[in-house]
């Protein structure tokens, strides 16, 4: 339900295990947020270069969906972090979950991550509890189509410790997040 509980870390650990078993995989997009431990888990994982797009003077990086679909041989598994992400304007799909639907339709398995507050059906409850309106959401059916779900979470105390230790955000962002939590 929160940044920093270890979703991406767990996904990368699972990918490393798949790689050791000989599964042909590719990193489509992984957001490490500068976390050294998370970046270390990318070591040895083949990565699809990201597409760079300029939008309103800002350089954005997005997953190269066409590159993944055209890869020879086609990977059996692609890692796609942050399922509810909104793609850059001009992308083929508005949302990353739509990119994943296209990968799945092409016979490519996907490991992904998502926070529960991004589910459309929970949006009003999350706003009521936290006072925060989550803008990036996905239809519940997307999650219901998954073959397997793995819950990754931490007790609040441990998450606050990770925030204080700088393991989630840089210090300024960490202070704001601690106050928000």
Give 35's contacts (C-beta < 8 A, 6+ positions apart). Answer: 9, 167, 168
Nearest to 50 by CA among 69, 36, 30: 30
Q: How far apart are the first and last CA of the chain?
A: 11
Residue with tokens 């509980």: 5
Q: Considering only CA atoms, which of 83, 88, 98 is closest in space to residue 30?
A: 83
With CA atoms as reference, report the closest residue to 89 among 64, 63, 54, 65: 54
* pTM (two decimals): 0.91
- How do residues 88-137 score in pLDDT, each as one tens digit? 999 999 999 999 999 999 999 999 999 988 999 998 898 888 788 888 99
């Amino acid at each position: 339900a929160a940044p920093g509980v270890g979703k991406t870390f767990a996904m990368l650990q699972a990918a490393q295990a798949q790689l050791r078993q000989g599964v042909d995989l590719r990193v489509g997009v992984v957001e490490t947020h500068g976390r050294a431990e998370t970046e270390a888990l990318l070591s040895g994982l083949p990565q699809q270069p990201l597409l760079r797009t300029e939008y309103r003077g800002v350089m954005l990086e997005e997953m190269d969906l066409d590159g993944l679909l055209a890869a020879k041989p086609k990977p059996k598994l692609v890692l796609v972090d942050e399922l509810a992400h909104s793609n850059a304007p001009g992308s083929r799909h508005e949302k990353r979950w739509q990119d994943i639907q296209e990968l799945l339709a092409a016979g490519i398995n996907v490991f992904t991550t998502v926070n529960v507050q991004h589910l459309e059906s929970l949006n009003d409850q999350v706003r009521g509890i936290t006072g925060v309106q989550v803008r990036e959401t996905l239809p519940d059916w997307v999650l219901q189509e998954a073959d397997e779900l793995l819950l990754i979470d931490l007790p609040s105390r441990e998450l606050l410790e990770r925030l204080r230790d700088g393991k989630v955000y840089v210090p300024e962002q960490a202070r704001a997040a601690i106050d928000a939590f």
